[in-house]
Amino acid sequence: MCGIVGYLGKSSAANILINGLKRMEYRGYDSAGMAVLNDGIIKTTKKKGKVSELERLVDLSKENSTIGIAHTRWATHGFPNDINAHPHSDQANKITIVHNGIIENYTAIKKKLTLDGYQFKSETDTEVLAVFIGALYERFGDLEYAVRFALSEVDGTFGMLVLSADHPDMLIAARRGSPLLIGIGDDEFVAASDAAAVIQYTKQVIYLNDNEIAIITRDGYHTKTISNEDTISKIEQIEFDLEQIEKGGFEHFMLKEIFEQPETIQNAFRGRLLVDEGDVKLGGLRQIQEQLRSAERIIITACGTSWHAGLVGEYMIEHLANIPVEVEYASEFRYRNPVIKKNDIVLAISQSGETADTMAAVREAKQKGATVLGIVNVVGSSIARYTSAGVYTHAGPEIGVASTKAFTSQLTVLSLIAIMFGRMNTLSKYEGIKIAKELLNIPDKIKKIFESADKIQQIAKQHAKAKNFLYLGRGYNFPVALEGALKLKEISYIHAEGYPAAEMKHGPIALIDENMPVVFIATQDEIYEKIISNIEEVKARKGKIIAIATEGDTRIESVADNVIYIPETLPMLTPILSVIPFQLLAYYTALELDCDIDKPRNLAKSVTVE
Neighbours of 225 (CB within 10 A): 15
In three-state secondary structure terms, 151 is: helix
DSSP 187: S
- β partners of residue 327: 300
- Spatial separation of the C-alpha atoms in residues 25 and 605, rounded to whole Å: 9
CA-based angle 317:322:326, to the nearest 5?
55
- Spatial separation of the C-alpha atoms in residues 179 and 198, rounded to whole Å: 14
E strand residue ranges, 185-296: 189-192, 204-207, 212-217, 220-225, 236-237, 273-274, 279-280
Q: For the sheet containing 495-500, what is the strand order?
A: 495-500, 468-473, 517-522, 544-550, 562-566
Pick the catalytic residue: 47, 48, 544, 605? 605
Nearest to 549 by CA among 539, 559, 537, 536: 559
In three-state secondary structure terms, 41 is: strand
2 part of the active site: yes
In three-state secondary structure terms, 561 is: coil
Task: Convert 195-216 to b/e letters by CB count within 10 Å (16 or more is b).
Answer: bbbbbebbbebbbbbebbbbbb
- Spatial separation of the C-alpha atoms in residues 485 and 508, rounded to whole Å: 14
Pick the catalytic residue: 2, 46, 48, 445? 2
Nearest to 407 by CA among 479, 493, 340, 473: 479
605 part of the active site: yes
Which residues are annotated as catalytic? 2, 605
